[in-house]
Amino acid sequence: MPYKVTYFNITALAEPIRFLLSYLNIDFEDFRFEREQWPALKPTMPFGKVPVLEIDGKVLNQSTAITRYLSKKAGLAGSDDWLSWADLFFVAILDYLNFMAKIDLLEGRPKLKALKEQVLAVPQIKAWVAKRPADNP
């Protein structure tokens, strides 16, 4: 498979990438590793960090740069009045932010709640969320 996402077995910074690949209907290898595997993998990653996205063996790094690149492919770089890559990024990372903050960051923010519903209703995103591992933030 030409596309491979490498990250810890959580959502966090990789999830916006997974959202965008799903939105683009691109099949990808979702390579997740456990904490114990990280010391061996770290020296092989650019700047010793993940997530990385490989496309045909070419390694891309930095989650914002990766999502910006994919957003251009998806036509979500800003010309669509209804949805942009930043919306996908925000909703994709929200569960992790809530988990870390231990509060619901959308409480009392109906417009952002509506945005979340809008993104989660996109058929490709809905399909991704339904099939991703359920037991990780």
In the complex, the residues that contact ligand GSH under the rule CB under 6 A are 12-13, 42, 48-51, 62-64
Give min distance, CB of 81 to ligand GSH, in A. 27
Count CA atoms closer than 13 A to 30's CA, side-chain side. Answer: 17
Q: How far is the CB of 39 from ligand GSH (least distance, A)?
A: 9
Strands 58-61 and 52-55: antiparallel
Question: Tokens standing for 73?
Answer: 């492919």
As measured in angstroms, the least distance from the Cβ of 100 to ligand GSH is 11
User: Residue 7 or residue 23: which is nearer to ligand GSH going by CB?
Assistant: 7
Place of tokens 């959308």: 106
Please, which residue, 7 or 122, has the CB nearer to ligand GSH?
Answer: 7
Residues in the chain: 137
CA gap 64, 67 in Å, rounded: 5
Task: Report the distance separating Cα 134 and Cα 137, nearest Å.
Answer: 8
**Helix or strand or coil: residue 29?**
strand
CB of 37 to ligand GSH, least distance (A): 12
CB-nearer residue toward ligand GSH: 45 or 118: 45
User: Looking at beta carbons only, is 53 or 122 nearer to ligand GSH?
Assistant: 53
